[in-house]
Copies of this chain bind each other. A is one copy, B any other.
Amino acid sequence: MKSLVISGVRQQQCSYALILKRYSKCDMSDHFRNTIANYEGAGIANSKKTTEKVGPVKVHSDYDGKVPLIAGLFAECSKRFEKAQVEQFAELSEDYNPLHLDDEFAKTTRFGRTIVHGYLFSSLFSGLIGGTLPGSGSIYMGSTTSYKLPCYVGDLVRARVEITSIDEKRKIVKLSTRAYNEQGKLLVDGESTIMVPASKITGTTGLTQSKL
């Protein structure tokens, strides 16, 4: 059901993320900038010499901590939520709102069709954050969510988390959390605040072996 964005050449991409970090504040030729911008989905749109942000740079699903965290790194996944998943979630959350479950009822509402629980499709962010970026050892401090458009049952949702800032001292990483439908329309816009192990900030691996 879920398709993770695959870069194909992870090692090189990570190296390019490092290059982007090192050189984003420096002068570089347009040729070099364009070369790395077009490489494997890595881009340096909006990169400025005066900011730490180098992104957007897409990271692979097993990126997990292999390079230092920098603003601009992002991860994505997609999933289609069908009636069966919505029914399962209704049981788990005890949210039997007919707007999610009853076609006839949904027709009488402004939405016209059954819609997926917001907490269900937004939970894709949690998987991306805990599993990919920042990855293992991430601890949720808080999140905000603003619902923009409904996600209809059967819609393919694309969730995207992108690092927006890093507080190295407090080990706090902020990420924008956005979800889109197949037409590219924004469904939710939000932010998550995550505490990460110090090793994530510096890019050390082997977390599962050590006390987080």
Of the listed stretches A30-38, A52-60, A95-103, chain B binds A95-103
User: In the complex, which residues 112-135 of chain A have their Cβ closer than 8 Å to any Cβ of chain B?
Assistant: 117-120, 122-124, 126-127, 130-131
Contacts of A93 on B, CB cut-off 8 Å? 120, 123-124, 126-127
Chain A interface secondary structure, helix, strand, loop or mixed?
mixed
A1 to B91, CA, bound (A): 10
Of the listed stretches A13-21, A65-73, A136-144, chain B binds A136-144
Cβ-based interface call for A167 (8 A): no
Cβ-based interface call for A199 (8 A): no
Contacts of A2 on B, CB cut-off 8 Å? 94
Known: A92-B85, A95-B131. A117 touches B126 (CB 8 A): yes
Partner of A119, one of B94, B105, B108, B119: B119
A89 to B88, CA, bound (A): 9
Cβ-based interface call for A169 (8 A): no
Cβ-based interface call for A29 (8 A): no
A146 to B123, CA, bound (A): 15
Contacts of A94 on B, CB cut-off 8 Å? 1-2, 77, 79, 124, 127, 131
Cβ-based interface call for A110 (8 A): yes
Which partner residue on chain B sits nearest A120 by CB separation?
A: B92
Partner of A211, one of B110, B119, B147: B110
**Count of chain A residues near B, Cβ 8 A:** 44
Contacts of A105 on B, CB cut-off 8 Å? 208
Contacts of A145 on B, CB cut-off 8 Å? 142-145
Cβ-based interface call for A50 (8 A): no
Known: A93-B123, A94-B2, A94-B77. A141 touches B146 (CB 8 A): yes
Chain A to chain B: the 10 pairs with minimum beta-carbon distance, closest first: A95-B127, A93-B123, A97-B130, A119-B123, A142-B146, A94-B127, A109-B212, A144-B144, A2-B94, A95-B126
* 6 more A-B residue pairs beyond the given contacts A117-B123, A141-B147, with a C-beta to C-beta distance below 8 A: A95-B130, A96-B127, A97-B136, A119-B122, A144-B144, A145-B145
